[in-house]
Amino acid sequence: MNNRVARCVMFVTPTNPRFIDKAWTRGGDVYILDIEDSIAPAEKQRCRTLIRESIAKANKGGASIYVRINKPFVDADLPYAVWPGVDRIMLPKTESAAEYRRVHDIILKLEKERGIVPGTIELYPMIESTLGAVNIYEILTSAPRKLRSMGGGGGYDMAVNLGIEMFASFDQYAFPQANVALAAMALDMEPTGCVFVPNPSGRVDQADQATQQASALHAAGVHHAGALHPNFIEPLVKGLSATADEIAWAHKVIAAFDSLTDEGESVGMLDGKVVDKFENDLAKRTLMWAADCAAKDAYKVRAMERAQEANS
Amino acid sequence: MTDNISNRRSWMIVPAHDADASARCADSKPDVVVLDLEYTVPPRAKVAAREGLAAAIRKLADGQIAVFVRIDRETRWADARAAITRGIKGIIFAGPDSPEEVAELGDLITAMERERGVEPGETELVLMMESAKGFWNLAAIAQASPRVTALGVGRIDLTMRLGPVPQDEFRLYRFLMTRALVVARMLRKQPLGALWRPDSRGGVAARDSTAKAAREARLMGFTGCVCATPEQVAPVNEGFAQV
């Protein structure tokens, strides 16, 4: 199921049976099969040969599948990474339009050979350096390939590139992340970053950190988050879904705006809050998001039931 | 109140169809009065608002008030036609996406100036940025017409759906304000904007939060902003006062 619901996107190492065999039971919306930094050089080739069967393992619970390849080995990786069932290829450390375009061309060829509708696998440029952040607009417009959402411009590599600490009590990635988000918005993609939640401890396995992160993202209107540890999955999925209160409020706003429009007015008040075309648009988005979440959750439940039956 | 182009702090929005508001608009002492054809005018009142515009502009201009007209992006051609008349200082275009749109509007204004006996090139253009495309193309947009005298940050929390972040700001707001400021200063345009907070959204902000939004914007380098209500004029004038 290829939809835009990616409340929790988690890395999985295909070479480790403990992770890859259990991933589908964890309830994530998306799993990234990694051939890059979590795989040792000596294991890369074995990892490549495991990708195809890992797709079928990791999506058993209804998750979508991304594959992260190695920038220096795109030619070696892509024939093992482009398969039906893969929604997105992630190209690490993207810095130029030329390298993005080259990967696009290789994917296009493989899509045609393997019965995938050309251009449908998303190619996500991971922005992990200042050069990539500055070139982001050219990168994103260099290939005719759809990309629903885009974020980035932070992380370990960016910290090294900037010569700064990765974990700080202030947002040291403010400029590169915002530049990436603005380019994404200018190109009608959903921007997925730019919400700073302090985490000076640097720990990535604590559920309360995930809850805080989800609530900050949710308030800011971002519904997309990454995870390195399974403890993050449930708080993120829950915290980034539309709430019952939001849905009820959205219905009220839309009804109020409809009657305003009938009366020939453009601005009104509802329970002490302004109702106008902006609030009406926002309410409609809330309902669309709620419907998307419900569809994804129902799909995951059905997939999970089928997988458990097959297992028993 | 004499117009001083280097000291236009408060730009007060007055719905163009509202004759009462227009008559009282000088009471709060804004530096600029903005007759609005956009958002604050209900759809059914738009035609009457356009028809009454020339008379309203002349009346304000006779009273030595600097008067601008904010046009609706969707109907900007008809709105600009209705607005160009003797006495108008300029047009506020909210939400430009591309340099072509601004150049086209500049040409339309030139034609109308000729037709209406307005000094050629006198009508200023103020651009209020409200879209991601506009912010990305900012420098090119600001140079698309020699009429552009000011560059502002519009209602981006609403138009770009920037929700609050834990730092008590709107997401991306400071970045976009900085971007607008840099381009405005680079091109010698007046930078317009206030650092609104999520709990004090522009349209309904009370006195204290308005003063704070204006003061913080002045410290960033802005020199004025739009006021949605007459009550916001005094705190904006104080907030942007040069100290």
Place of tokens 């998303």: A122
pLDDT exceeds 90 at position B57: yes
Sign of CA dihedral A173, A174, A177, A183: negative
> If we measure between CA atoms, which residue out of A111, A74, A106 comes closest to residue A92?
A74
Average pLDDT over all residues of chain A: 94
In a domain, B23, yes or no: yes
In a domain, B232, yes or no: yes
Q: Is A246 on the interface with B (CB under 8 A)?
A: no
In a domain, B146, yes or no: yes
Most B CBs within 10 Å: which of A180, A267, A280, as the mutation test of the B interface? A267
CB contact (8 A) between residue B132 and residue A194: no
* A27 within 8 A of A260, measured Cβ to Cβ: no
Q: How confident is the model at residue A33 (pLDDT cuts 50, 70, 90)?
A: very high
ipTM of the complex model:
0.93
Q: Say how far apart CA A226 and CA A11 lie, in whole Å.
A: 8
* A31 within 8 A of A63, measured Cβ to Cβ: yes
Q: Say how far apart CA A72 and CA A44 lie, in whole Å.
A: 12
CB contact (8 A) between residue B43 and residue A264: yes
CB within 8 Å of B61: residues ≥ 6 apart: B67, B86, B87, B88
Residue type, A266: S
Q: How confident is the model at residue B242 (pLDDT cuts 50, 70, 90)?
A: confident
Q: Which residue has the higher pLDDT, B139 or A228?
A: B139
What b/e readout covers B120-156, taking b as 16+ CB neighbours within 10 angstroms?
Answer: eeebbbbbbbbbbbbbbbbbebbebbebbbbbbbbbb
CB contact (8 A) between residue B165 and residue A216: yes
For residue A260, give the chain B residue with the closest CA.
Answer: B42
CB contact (8 A) between residue B136 and residue A221: no
pLDDT exceeds 70 at position B202: no
Residue type, B85: T
- Say which CATH number the domain at B135 has: 3.20.20.60
- Cβ-count burial of B107 within 10 angstroms (0-12 exposed, 13-18 middle, 19+ buried)? exposed
| Residue B137 tokens, joined | 């193309």
Question: Would you state the pLDDT for residue B2?
Answer: 65
Distances from the Cα of A294 to the Cαs of A6, A85, A96, A227, A234, in angstroms?
A: 13, 21, 38, 21, 15
For the entire predicted model, the pTM comes to 0.94
Provide the strand spans (E) within A59-213.
Answer: 64-68, 88-91, 122-125, 149-150, 190-191
A221 → closest Cβ in B132, B161, B203:
B161
B163 → closest Cβ in A221, A265, A276:
A221
Pairing, β A88-91 against β A122-125: parallel
In a domain, B164, yes or no: yes
Closest Cα in chain B, distance from residue A247 (Å): 17
Q: How many CA atoms lie within 13 A of B80 on its CB side?
A: 27
Mean pLDDT within A248-254: 98
Mean pLDDT within A221-236: 92
Most A CBs within 10 Å: which of B165, B179, B204, B229, as the mutation test of the A interface? B165
- Cβ-count burial of B78 within 10 angstroms (0-12 exposed, 13-18 middle, 19+ buried)? middle
Name the H helices within B72-200.
76-83, 99-116, 132-136, 138-142, 156-159, 173-186
Question: Would you state the pLDDT for residue A223?
Answer: 94
Contacts of A224 in chain B (CB under 8 A): none
Mean pLDDT within A285-300: 96
Average pLDDT over all residues of chain B: 94
Contacts of B159 in chain A (CB under 8 A): 278
In a domain, B155, yes or no: yes
Split into its structural domains, chain B has a count of 1
In a domain, B5, yes or no: no
| Residue B112 tokens, joined | 């109308």
CB contact (8 A) between residue B42 and residue A219: no
* A190 within 8 A of A149, measured Cβ to Cβ: yes
Neighbours of A29 (CB within 10 A): 28
Closest Cα in chain B, distance from residue A109 (Å): 32
CB contact (8 A) between residue A220 and residue B162: yes
pLDDT exceeds 70 at position A174: yes
Q: How many CA atoms lie within 13 A of A150 on its CB side?
A: 32
Place of tokens 């209705």: B82
| Distance, C-alpha A65 to centroid of its chain | 11
For residue A184, give the chain B residue with the closest CA.
Answer: B132
Q: Say how far apart CA B148 and CA A227 lie, in whole Å.
A: 47
Q: How many CA atoms lie within 13 A of B134 on its CB side?
A: 25
pLDDT exceeds 90 at position A118: yes
Contacts of A179 in chain B (CB under 8 A): 175
Q: Say how far apart CA B100 and CA B115 lie, in whole Å.
A: 23
Question: Structural domain of residue B196, as residue ranges?
Answer: 10-239
Pairing, β A226-227 against β A268-270: unpaired
Contacts of B166 in chain A (CB under 8 A): 195-198, 216
Q: Say how far apart CA B12 and CA B7 lie, in whole Å.
A: 14
Place of tokens 């000729």: B114
In a domain, B160, yes or no: yes
* A133 within 8 A of A180, measured Cβ to Cβ: yes
pLDDT exceeds 70 at position B201: no
pLDDT in tens, B32-52: 999 999 988 988 899 999 999
pLDDT exceeds 80 at position A2: no
Question: Would you state the pLDDT for residue A119?
Answer: 95
Mean pLDDT within A213-221: 95
Chain A, residues 197-236, CB within 8 A of chain B, namely 197-198, 216, 219-222
Q: Report the length, in residues, of chain A.
A: 312
Question: Would you state the pLDDT for residue A185?
Answer: 97
* A195 within 8 A of A220, measured Cβ to Cβ: yes
In a domain, B4, yes or no: no
Closest Cα in chain B, distance from residue A110 (Å): 33
Task: Find the range with the poorest average confidence among A109-113, A147-151, A196-200, A260-264.
Answer: A196-200
Q: Say how far apart CA A109 and CA A118 lie, in whole Å.
A: 8
